Amino acid sequence: MSAEIKKILVISPDVDKKSADFLSNALAKGQQGGFDYLKFKQSLNQIAQLKLDEGTSFQSAFATASTIGITRDGLISSAKHYLNLLDHEKSQFDSALQKQVKERIASKKEQVIKLEQGIEELKSKIKALEKKITEFQHRIDNSDAEVEKAKQKILETQSRFEKSYEVFQNVIRDDIRKIEQYL
């Protein structure tokens, strides 16, 4: 169903696949029964093959939908339902992202602090322990690189998700604008 939603919304293949699949699955899970915004969008896609202008396409799809009781306000409400689903998924993503930041970065920083304390303790001991001090220092140096790597990965994931989220939102918002304009 995820692929079908992406096809219905005409999501660009440039969008991060993992994020697009995630958002599409969320929309599929929250799909409304009967003729809703997604069915309307699917009708628009089929009418687009007739090479009609955009306004005529919207009016034609709506004319068909109105024969089964669909109203302009109902269609907008349905589209907003899907925007709300996207907003909910973004909120959950943001929470998970914060958790990952805390787990991956903060724990590494705590590890660095503990290792630095270990170094200070070892410096007070006899020369035989100096080898362990050097090993701990090496681990600290590597931890900084790991922290930066984890941070970059999280930022990249966030960026890909944000771009996908914006594409989904823009498609639906643009359709709402067109529904309001043409219907």
Structure confidence at residue 129 as a pLDDT band (50, 70, 90): low
CA distances from 68 to 34, 61, 64, 112, 118 (A): 10, 12, 8, 65, 73
Vertex 16 angle, CA 14 and 22, to 5° = 135
Question: Cβ distance 15 to 164 under 8 Å?
Answer: yes
Residue 157: count other Cβ atoms within 10 Å of its Cβ: 17
- How far is residue 111's CA from residue 117's CA, in Å, rounded to a whole number? 10
Q: What is the pLDDT of residues 5-54, one digit of tens each?
A: 888 888 888 999 999 999 999 999 999 988 999 999 999 999 988 999 99
Structure confidence at residue 2 as a pLDDT band (50, 70, 90): low
Predicted confidence (pLDDT) at residue 1 exceeds the cutoff of 70: no
Q: What is the pLDDT of residues 134-183, one digit of tens each?
A: 888 888 888 888 888 888 999 999 999 999 999 999 999 998 999 999 88
pLDDT of residue 128: 73
pLDDT of residue 27: 92
Q: What is the pLDDT of residues 64-87, one digit of tens each?
A: 999 999 999 999 999 999 999 999
